[in-house]
Amino acid sequence: MALPVRKIGLPPTQRRLLRLVAFFEFLKGAFGLLVGFVAILLVHKDAWVIAESLLALLHISTDRHFAQLFLDFADDVTPARLWTAAFLAFVYATLRFIEAYGLWKQRTWAEWFAFGSGALLIPWEIREMLRGITLLRSVLLVGNLVVVGYMFYLLRSGRLCGPIASAGTEPSASRSE
């Protein structure tokens, strides 16, 4: 006999926070799609000319170190690398969209997925902070720590044990007879 699966509801504030995280994951997926489509559009184009035009559009001098690195990168781009980048971007976007759907629908598997994928990035973000503290790196680290902490809180607050605990230890008032 299968265990009854019972969905434990969240208070409205926690539900809104979970949906905010889901929306953020959706935005990351949309960004992944954008990167994938841009990579496909750049296949068989002169990426160096496009990179130089982009720097000019943004009024960034090509004499700057960052600009030179960007131009060197654009010069090394091949169609095979662009197709690989597009494929990886689409896989990333798919994973983010699946996670966003699961979090929006308050699924425990999505909380585990969000917790795991966020926790995997923390060592890399700390390493980046050790290379130099910037506003972007600080915001990414703090935001990721908040999401991972919130997912940990949800998983530890009893939502994880809800379906297992309900298989015979439910109070008599909540049993359906």
Total Cβ atoms within 10 A of residue 147? 22
How many Å separate Cα 58 from the centre of its chain?
A: 27
- For 79-94, write each residue's pLDDT tens digit: 999 999 999 999 999 9
Q: What is the pTM of this model?
A: 0.75
Band the pLDDT of 160: cuts 50, 70, 90.
very low
pLDDT (0 to 100) of residue 113 = 94
Of residues 10 and 153, which shows the higher confidence score?
Answer: 153
Least confident piece of the model among 3-7, 36-40, 43-47, 160-164: 3-7
Say if residue 176's pLDDT is above 60: no
Alpha-carbon distance of 161 to 166, in angstroms, equals: 8
Total Cβ atoms within 10 A of residue 124? 12
**Own/partner pairs, 32-37, CB within 8 angstroms, 24+ separation:** 32/89, 32/90, 32/92, 32/93, 32/96, 33/89, 33/90, 33/93, 35/85, 35/86, 35/89, 36/85, 36/86, 36/87, 36/89, 36/90, 36/93, 37/86
Q: What is the mean pLDDT of residues 29-37?
A: 96
pLDDT (0 to 100) of residue 8 = 60
Q: Residue ranges per domain, the chain?
A: 13-93, 107-164
